[in-house]
Structure 1
Amino acid sequence: MEWTQILTLAAKEFRDRMRNRWVLAVALVFTVFSLVIAYFGGAQQGAVGFRSIEFTIASLVSLVIYLIPLIALLLGFDAIVGERERGSLDLLLSLPITRLELLLGKYLGLAAALTLSTLAGFGLVALLLWQRIDTAGLYHYAGFMLSSVLLGLAFLSLAVLVSVVARDRTRASGLAIALWFFFVLVFDLLLLGVLVGTGGRFGGEAFAWLLLLSPADVFRLLNVFSLDDVRTLYGLASIVPTSLGSPGVMGGVMLAWIALPLVVARWRFK
């Protein structure tokens, strides 16, 4: 495996995203939504204005779970199948480059664009609010930003897998949207439905571990257990073991969600 070819492909993908203003657009979306949530998130309780970093993170977690997976899936669903439809995939593979190098180059370039837009968007909010956040708050906010990047990379891995498996862009886009609906909306409803329907007899003890089967829930646990106020707000402390609240454990699970889809995509592409 030659890293020169991989980095060349990654740089080309990154330049394409920068050229079409994709990174700027996503960063602005994150900044605007974050500022609105920071200042108007407490309007339902009759309070307007920045309250605390804990409350802001709790509100941003819900935003990130809905927005970043969708952006990542839409960013990467045509990474391979798009090249196939345009007829450029055979040309790329005729060059002295392996399929693994092509796959990693595509993924790293898209990952760099997604990471830059995420950090730029949320980082600008931190700069605007830094006078109202103490050192501990900045530390937790930095952890939130890092976990947001990991969530995006996990769904980008799923998008690349979809792009390898699908036969055309139409099927790939449909599979990407289906994955978003399943992991963001349907998965939690299924777990709750099983718990309620069986009166807690089935899945009760395994509920916390089943949450690890969704990267969106891993992200939620990673941020819920980082702050006591946020943990109480979500009400998960009573049903999720403290061991699962370890940032190291949850970070490892998120890294597995990033690596495993890429391993499967590499096997299928090969």
Structure 2
Amino acid sequence: MQNNIRDNKELEAIALNVREHIIKMSTDGGCFTGASLSAVDMIVYLYAEFLNLHKDNLTDPERDYLFLSKGHDVPALYGTFAELGLIEKERLANHLSINDHIYWHPNTHIPGIEFHSGSLGHLPSVAIGVAMDIKIRGGANKVICIMGDGELNEGSCWEAVLVANAYKLDNLIFVIDRNKFQANMATEDLIPLEPLHNKFTAFGAAVSRIDGHDFNELRRAFEKYPFAEGKLNVVIADTIRGKGLPSIQARADRWFCNFSADEVEQLLQELHGEHTTQLTSETLVVR
């Protein structure tokens, strides 16, 4: 069974705390701040409410599965794990430490991480394999794979959509974090993706497009699972890179950030609406 339905204010409070964790991980080596902030609300909703996946059933064969294919968003996942008790909050301070596995990409040494990721286009196929196994066994597990919109430039993603529909994997959900940026460029300026809804539909999927920061829309979309019998489920979640920090929102140059300790404090104040920062590109590392 899925987790209990939560009040939106509770979900918002969890998401705010996760954003704090991400900001704090954006120093002493940095992290993929902008993309992580765009994915927070959907990841919080999925773990807190939709998925049968929590600290007490991480090895249960009846659990649901989430694969973070856009692995550079892992600070959002780490932060959610910390808030929901899958890992100790104190461990987040070990980010990039040689004494822990809290790193730039998911690592299966962290409780709750199902598969290493970071090579874009890789995990949709892994998720398909798990979903097929569940179908063969007659299981009821849900399988989710979160992908980036820039990741859709990988042909393996579209091959995965074709295969998922060929095998009628209606227990599988591809969630697209549509923040409209890939690395340090807008998606539509490099390889345009739109009309994205129509493309997934043409490939045979059942598609829902929502505001990825609105918990009511997230709930309405996922409560319809499976969207159509025998079809891959696809949720296109329109999001904002850097959501929660107006000074870095929707900026191509705020992909990978390595802020000073003082700037982190300024950003935490901005997150809580206390003042707006003016951070220069001199403190930014882009990879």
The two structures have a TM-score, normalised by structure 1, of 0.29
Judging by fraction of residues, say which structure has more strand. 2
Between Structure 1 and Structure 2, whose CA radius of gyration is higher?
1
More contact order relative to length (CA 8 Å, sep ≥ 6): 1
Output the TM-score relative to the length of structure 2.
0.27
Which structure dedicates a bigger proportion of its chain to helix?
A: 1
